Chain A
Amino acid sequence: AAGVIQSPRHLIKEKRETATLKCYPIPRHDTVYWYQQGPGQDPQFLISFYEKMQSDKGSIPDRFSAQQFSDYHSELNMSSLELGDSALYFCASSPPALNQETQYFGPGTRLLVL
């Protein structure tokens, strides 16, 4: 079965640089969520989109922005990167009807800020 695809899988950036993370949900899933997991931490919700509109916002810094496109893929844009942004970033998607409460996670993007 198709899974959530995230790219890139690994990313190394310098402080103050910009990064873009991409997420391709499972086909026919209409909701996308972004989570940040710091070292030794539990995943923390950043932002979500339903039908291309932002539906909820968590502890996402103002330096970060995200959007969902017409093909339902989503991008998380991170600017003025800081050392503390080093983390594993998960994207998850959920279907429109049956089992919509279940979120299926991608493999994550490991971001290292030097």
Chain B
Amino acid sequence: AQTVTQSQPEMSVQEAETVTLSCTYDTSESDYYLFWYKQPPSRQMILVIRQEAYKQQNATENRFSVNFQKAAKSFSLKISDSQLGDAAMYFCAYRSANRDDKIIFGKGTRLHILP
């Protein structure tokens, strides 16, 4: 069975600085998708970024980028120029490439932004 591990329950970063959230996963599949979801205090689940496993190029979305290391099964999220609105719980997530498959979430990392 696939698993997703986030080893940092909480992290803090100074506003305008850069922070990296770690995530590792375990799977025997060769084709899959990885995601980072953000859950602010409102508890809405917001998709931050998505990575296809078959793509070697790391995904980027404005200030958010990932470092995808397929062989190491590592998928970290880098947030540049951190803003107060980035404060939230961040979930790393895995989904098989099979149609209609469920998302498996990590336990989450709570990110605090220090003004």
Interface set of A (CB-CB < 8 Å, partner B): 31, 33, 35, 37, 42-45, 48, 50, 55-56, 58, 88, 90, 92, 94, 100-105, 107-108, 110
Distance (whole angstroms) from the CB of B24 to the closest CB of chain A:
15
Chain B residues near A44: list those with CB within 8 A: 105
Chain B residues near A108: list those with CB within 8 A: 43-45
Q: Residue B102 contacts which of A33, A88, A105, A107 (CB distance < 8 angstroms)?
A: A33
Chain B residues near A33: list those with CB within 8 A: 102-103
Least CB separation from A37: chain B residue:
B43
User: A-side binding surface: helix, strand, loop or mixed?
Assistant: strand
Q: Residue A56 contacts which of B42, B43, B97, B102 (CB distance < 8 angstroms)?
A: B102
Give the A-B contact count at a CB cut-off of 8 A: 56
B102 touching A45 by the CB < 8 A rule?
yes
Interface residues of B in 62-105 (CB under 8 A from A): 91, 95, 97, 99-105
Q: How far is the CA of A35 from the CA of B100 in the complex (A)?
A: 14
B100 touching A48 by the CB < 8 A rule?
yes
Interface set of B (CB-CB < 8 Å, partner A): 33, 35, 37, 42-47, 50, 52, 91, 95, 97, 99-108
Q: How far is the CA of A102 from the CA of B97 in the complex (A)?
A: 11
Least CB separation from A90: chain B residue:
B45
A42-B106, A101-B33 as given contacts; A50 in contact with B100, CB under 8 Å: yes
Distance (whole angstroms) from the CB of A65 to the closest CB of chain B:
18
B44 touching A107 by the CB < 8 A rule?
yes
